[in-house]
Amino acid sequence: MLAYFVAMATYAGFFMILAQGLNLQWGMTGMVNFGVAGFYALGAYSGAILSTRIGIAPELAIALAGVAAGVAGLVVSLLTMRLREDYFAIVTLGFGEIVRLFALNEDWLTEGPRGLRIPARPFDFGLSNAVYSLVYLGVVALVVLVIYAICERIRSGPYGRTLRAIREDDVVAGVLGKNVLRFRVQAFVLGSVFMGVAGALFAHYIQNISPDTFMPMIAIFIWMSVIVGGYGNNKGLLLGAGIVIFILEGSRFLGDFTSIVTSQQLSSIRIILIGIILMAVLRFRPRGLIPEPKFMSEFEKTS
Amino acid sequence: MMGQMIVNGVVTAALIAPPAVAFSMLFGILRFPNFAIGGYITVGVFTGYAANVLFGLPLWAASLAAMLAGAAVVWASDRIIFRPMRTSSPVTLLVVSIALTFVLEHTVRLVFGADVRGFDLPLERPLVFGGMHITRPQLYLMGASLLVVIVTHFLLTRTRIGKAMRAMADNSQLAEVRGIRSVLVRVMVTLYCGALLGLSGVSAGLDLVIEPLLGWGLTIPIIAAAILGGIGSVYGAMLGAVLVGLAEEFATLILPSSYKIGVGFAMITILLLLRPYGLLGQPEIKK
Amino acid sequence: MSNVFFRAEGVYSGYGRGDIVSDVSVAVESGSIMTIIGPNGAGKSTFIKTLAGVVQRRVGKILINGRDVGGLPPSEVSRHAIAYVPQEHNVFRSLSVLENLEMGAWIEPRKFKPRLESVLELFPALRKLRTVRAGNLSGGQRQMVAFGMALMVEPKLLLLDEPSAGLSPAMAEQMFEAIREVRERGIAILMVEQNAMRALQISNFGTVMSAGQVAMTGPASEILSNREVAELYLGTRA
């Protein structure tokens, strides 16, 4: 049972990192990234390939995976920064699908649908499995906290205010003399780095990844985390990610229940539940359960 | 070889043109890109499947049932979700529509399971015309698609309600000022587009295999076609469908066919880079 | 003011928090022209939008033949013989001229044919342009389509928001001519106009708005000859 809690908390950690990355991009600057799964997959595969095929130390591979996702974020954002937000959403979604297709088809590199095995264990000092899983959770938690600190600093500083000004109205922010494009690219790249790190941490944790793991559904889970938590709010989205993981994984506690429905039906029920909660939150509490601290007031009257 | 590729491309175009038209018409009235089209298509194909295989109805009756189910589910989702949320931002609605797609697809999966199925059709060899192969179901779907194009054109240019749909999409405030009730137009558009999407489900089930993720797999090429043609433009969507269909087919000359779905994306990305607002779109004025 | 059929009483409206229009009342006699003038930002345009139902009135009554249409959405206001022509975006750009006029007659489709004839009589230039998309027309032609669309329902009251805005002087003159002719057909007009002098010359009554309120109202000739108004809004000649 404890092992199960530890696993759940670790998963929640991956989602929290992803959600923080998305919050930086969308919650704070309004860039609608639907390609979360793509950046996550890119981080997972590049980290895994670096540590298994090239033999780099897994800790370094995880960091480099962040860099790889950041570079992809740079390219994607530079290409699409001028787009209207709904088109931006579609193109980033496309990026996610293309990464998945690449992983599926280029099996000389990724083992395709068979899945890529990752024997390398980072942060391993010859520990027993039970202790190792606790250590891994600790590492993930540390990363979550570091990223949280970075995001909080960004949010409360002048940089964060500019980012939110861009989100509310990029014309106004442009007039204010801020270099909108540069800020948006920076926020997007940093968010992508976080997602890449989350992917590589995930890959080395689960030790076996396949393209199926990175369906666009992931994007919805992460969006749900940010939205339910109250977008723009770093604390809220940690809670949001926890809720999503609880719905996705916590239903396993209903062990006996699975004799009535098959596991496949159960997974459908979970997704239906997530979808309905997401729609209900957006309809009835569009600012999330923990709304972002008031910043809007000076912009509210413009519309 | 070349001829066969054109035939395949045209079949794909015929498959995605009706839903691309529906997507564009819905955008004109709802003012956001409704990603739930995939879910609507899945509901359509499984209704058709149930009617055809489980209840033994002929394909035309199953198509009709699929159209009714499509109309009902699009109307209901608008009534329950999108209409009450019409003042939300397009991005919020976009997220909601993606969530809705997953809810619809997984509801279908819950009921029917994830197995791959097919319509109850006699097995027969593809027909051969001058060396080019085409199956009878593909001919059906091309016929249905052509009919949809003709009926839609007639609706939009010859009927009062169709002209009101165009007027509402063009300038909703002016339409209201002239006495057109927006709810009436909205209901008619959702019913019509729902019927098109239900029918598209049956067409997709004829050409591909029937499974719950069928709709999601088609979402990308459909939206690519609609954007290529200029989102909101019905005739543009038809043109965009032909472009996407042929491009996907010809891309297999240089790419493995498993990358097909990426082709539509590559096309819209390139197009949007050259023209950030689509082929026929206009820059939006920020308030 | 014997045959007043339209009356706005104590109307307040605006966007967001504040009121842009506060406590405005006007009365329109049947078959007459009333022009509202005033400086930019006086709330003229918001007021006329409120009468059309495009902006919701917060307080006050909007009475036509004794019935209060305040609070109704624009699609319902238009069913009470009130037709509004917005200043901008006043045609369906992707529809042909003929289709635009057809949409004008939306609430009374049976009367489309005879009304089309009478609108084409008023604006003969549109006759040749019937199949042209409204988005491809010149500004003056577009204004005719917008005006014609509103006349397709033979309203009792026509609300015009800056009918001469953006038009060449010759074209503007043609619009004022058309407005006069419409009055001859027994349709009352309430308009907001920047070209105050010219508008008042063809009007029966005038109202001066300033800072969201009525500063003065009366026969057009009185407004025209008022020294203060002349200095402020008409250019110095009195």
Q: Count how many domains chain B has.
A: 1
∠ CA B89-B94-B96, nearest 5°, is 100
CB contact under 8 Å between A286 and B114, yes or no, is no
What's the confidence (pLDDT) of residue A298? Answer: 40
**Can you give the pLDDT at residue B285?**
37
Q: Point out the least confidently predicted range of A279-283, B203-207, B238-242, C122-126.
A: A279-283
Examine residue B265 and state whether it is found in any structural domain, yes or no: no
Predicted pLDDT at B117: 93
pLDDT given for residue A125 in this prediction? 77
pLDDT score recorded for residue C155: 95
Mean of all residue pLDDT scores within chain B: 91
Q: What is the pLDDT of residue B179?
A: 96
Residue C232 has pLDDT above 60, yes or no: yes
pLDDT score, position A178: 57
Cα separation of C137 and C92, whole Å? 11
Give the start-end residues of each E strand in chain B.
Answer: 127-129, 132-134
What pLDDT is attached to residue C4?
A: 92
Please tell me the distance in Å from C194's CA to the nearest CA on chain B.
Answer: 22
Residue B268, in any domain of the structure: no
pLDDT (mean) for C64-90:
95
**Could you read off the pLDDT of A82-117 as tens digits, one per residue?**
787 778 888 888 888 889 889 988 888 888 888 899
- Please check whether residue A228 is in contact with residue A278, taking contact to mean a CB–CB distance below 8 angstroms: yes
Residues comprising chain C, all counted: 238
Whole-number Å distance between alpha carbons of B242 and B6: 10
Tell me if chain A has a CB within 8 Å of the CB of C16: yes
Select the residue from B168, B172, B174 to test the C interface by mutation, using most C Cβ atoms within 10 A: B174
What is the per-residue pLDDT for C237? 43
Of B81, B220, B227, the CB nearest to A97: B220
**Amino acid sitting at position C135:** G
Does B276 fall in a domain?
no
Q: Which A residues 156-175 touch B at CB under 8 Å?
A: 169, 171
Comparing CB atoms, the residue among C79, C90, C92 nearest residue B179 is C79
**Are the C-beta atoms of A118 and A52 separated by less than 8 Å?**
yes
Alpha-carbon distance of B46 to B181, in angstroms, equals: 34
Work out the number of other CB atoms within 10 angstroms of the CB of residue A123.
14
- For residue B287, the chain A residue with the least C-alpha distance is A303
Of the candidate ranges A15-24, A272-281, B264-273, C82-91, the one whose mean pLDDT is the lowest: B264-273
pLDDT at residue A171 greater than cutoff 70? no
- Residue A130 has a pLDDT of 82
- DSSP secondary structure, B217-282, as one string: HHHHHHHHHHHHT-TT-HHHHHHHHHHHHHHHHHHTTTS-GGGHHHHHHHHHHHHHHHSTT-SS--
The percent of residues above 90 in pLDDT, for chain A, comes to 33
DSSP A264-290: HHHHHHHHHHHHHHHHHHHHH-TT-SS
Fold exhibited by the domain C1-81+155-238: Rossmann fold (3.40.50)
CA distance B272 to A115: 34
Amino acid at C1: M
pLDDT in tens, A110-152: 888 888 998 888 887 777 888 898 999 999 999 999 999 999 8
Query: Which of B72, B48, B67, B71 has its CA nearest to residue B206?
Result: B48
Q: What is the DSSP letter of C86?
A: -
Measured in angstroms, the CA of B34 and the nearest CA of chain A are apart by 10
Determine contact: C171 vs chain B, CB below 8 A. Answer: no
The tokens of B158 are what? 């010859």
User: Which chains would you list as touching C if contact means 3+ CB atom pairs under 8 Å?
Assistant: A, B
Q: Which residue in this structure is represented by tokens 């990610």?
A: A241
Mean pLDDT, residues A17-44: 91
Identify whether the C-beta of residue A31 lies closer than 8 Å to the C-beta of residue A187. Answer: yes
Per residue in A188-232, pLDDT (tens digit) is 999 999 999 999 999 999 999 999 888 878 888 898 888 887 766
What percent of chain C has pLDDT above 70?
Answer: 97
For residue A253, give every residue at least 6 positions away whose Cβ sits within 8 Å of its Cβ, in sequence order, or none: none
From A29-38, A89-98, B273-282, the region with the lowest mean pLDDT? B273-282
Whether A301 has a pLDDT exceeding 50, the answer reads no
Where residue C118 falls among pLDDT bands split at 50, 70, 90?
Answer: very high
For the record, the structure tokens of A210 come out as 């396949």
Question: Using alpha carbons only, how large is chain B's radius of gyration in Å?
Answer: 18
Q: Evaluate if residue B219 carries a pLDDT over 70.
A: yes
Out of C75, C89, C90, name the one closest to residue B181 (CB): C75
Residue A263 pLDDT > 80, yes or no? Answer: no
Cα dihedral value B275, B276, B277, B283, nearest 10: -110
Would an 8 Å CB–CB cutoff place A104 in contact with chain B?
A: yes
Distances (CA, A) of B277 to A255, B170, B260, C171: 51, 16, 24, 34
Contact (CB, 8 A) for B155 and B149? no
From A301's Cα to the closest Cα of chain C, the distance in A is 6
**Both tokens assigned to A248:** 């996705």
Of A192-206, A254-268, C6-20, the range with the lowest mean pLDDT is: A254-268
Q: What is the mean pLDDT of chain C?
A: 92
Give the pairing of strands C157-161 and C188-192: parallel
Q: In this predicted structure, what is the pLDDT of residue B287?
A: 28
**Cβ atoms A219, A96 nearer than 8 A:** yes
Q: How confident is the model at residue A295 (pLDDT cuts 50, 70, 90)?
A: very low
Regarding beta strands C21-29 and C33-37, do their DSSP bridges make them parallel or antiparallel, or are they unpaired?
Answer: unpaired
Confidence of residue B256 (pLDDT cuts 50, 70, 90): confident
Q: How far apart are the first and last CA of chain A?
A: 52
Is the pLDDT assigned to residue A300 strictly greater than 60? no
- At residue A177 the predicted structure's pLDDT band, cuts being 50, 70 and 90, is low
Residue C124 confidence class, pLDDT cut points 50, 70, 90? very high
SS3 content of chain C, % helix, strand, coil (to 5): 40, 25, 35
Is the pLDDT reported for residue B16 higher than 50?
Answer: yes
Which of A140-154, A231-245, B71-85, C93-107 is the least confident region?
A: A231-245
Residue A95: its chain B contacts at CB < 8 A?
A: 265
> Domain ranges in chain C?
1-81+155-238, 88-154
pLDDT of residue C187: 96
Contact yes or no for B178 and C104 at CB 8 A: yes
| Residues B224-241 pLDDT 10s | 899 888 877 888 899 999
Instruction: Return the pLDDT at A247.
Output: 83
- Which of the four pLDDT bands, split at 50, 70 and 90, describes residue C131? very high
Find out whether C53 and C225 touch, Cβ atoms under 8 Å. Answer: no
pLDDT of residue C2: 66
Q: What is the mean pLDDT of chain A?
A: 84
In a domain, B77, yes or no: yes
Res C110 pLDDT > 60: yes
Tell me which residue range forms the domain holding B86. Answer: 2-122+130-219+232-242
pLDDT value, residue A251? 65
Closest-approach residue (CA) in chain B for C78: B179
A229 touches A245 (CB < 8 A): no
How many angstroms separate the CA of residue A302 from the nearest CA in chain C? Answer: 9
